[in-house]
Amino acid sequence: MLREKLTNHKIILASGSPRRQAFFKELDIDFEIQVKAIDETFPSHLTRSEITDYISKLKASAFKDLKENEILITSDTLVWLNGEALGKPTDIEVAKEMLRKLSGRMHEVITSVCFTSKHFQKTLNDTTKVWFKKLSEEEIDYYIQTYRPFDKAGSYGIQEWIGYIGIEKIEGCYFNVMGLPIRIVYKILNDIATQ
């Protein structure tokens, strides 16, 4: 459906995330993947969606001279807990510490998506609240050793074992927690295609 509407556009997904790539395949649209490494450092005064908006735009800035029909999509996800941004863990100990912090508490997962073309840039974000049960050290150790969640914000994937046994409830979009509020992507691409 959307594929036919976008025949005059070239969609570029700037993400190495297997989950985001899978979402785009499931949308049944043609796209190509281009990833450019950037320094994801952000100004210390930014909070919550200001951080993810900033980084998703920063990722887009690495792409110079987009062609007339190209639409670049960049995104960023973080976990927000008690005034602290939790990104991807750098090692096992950091991953364990993150899960201990999330244990028995509510946190927010925030994802921003930036759409960039030669003529416009539009950035939207989505927030989902997630409640974890109290996790045991044994559960934390098992999850990290078995699933090695070092490419995931907050050190966990909701679609994995830890999500099955540890998440008591969520408020908001499930797919946002996986790293992409796909309904927003669909809406914006649909809007662009029908302009």
Show which residues are catalytic.
76
Q: 109: buried, middle or exposed (CB in 10 Å: 19+, 13-18, 0-12)?
A: buried
Handedness of CA 138, 139, 144, 145 (dihedral sign): positive
Q: What gap in Å lies between CA 77 and CA 166, rounded to an integer?
A: 20
Within the chain, how many helices (H) and strands (E) appear?
8, 7
Phi first, then psi: what are they for 99, rounded to 5°? -65, -35
71: β partners: 11
Q: Which two tokens stand for residue 14?
A: 């700037």
Is 33:10 a contact under the CB 8 Å cutoff? no
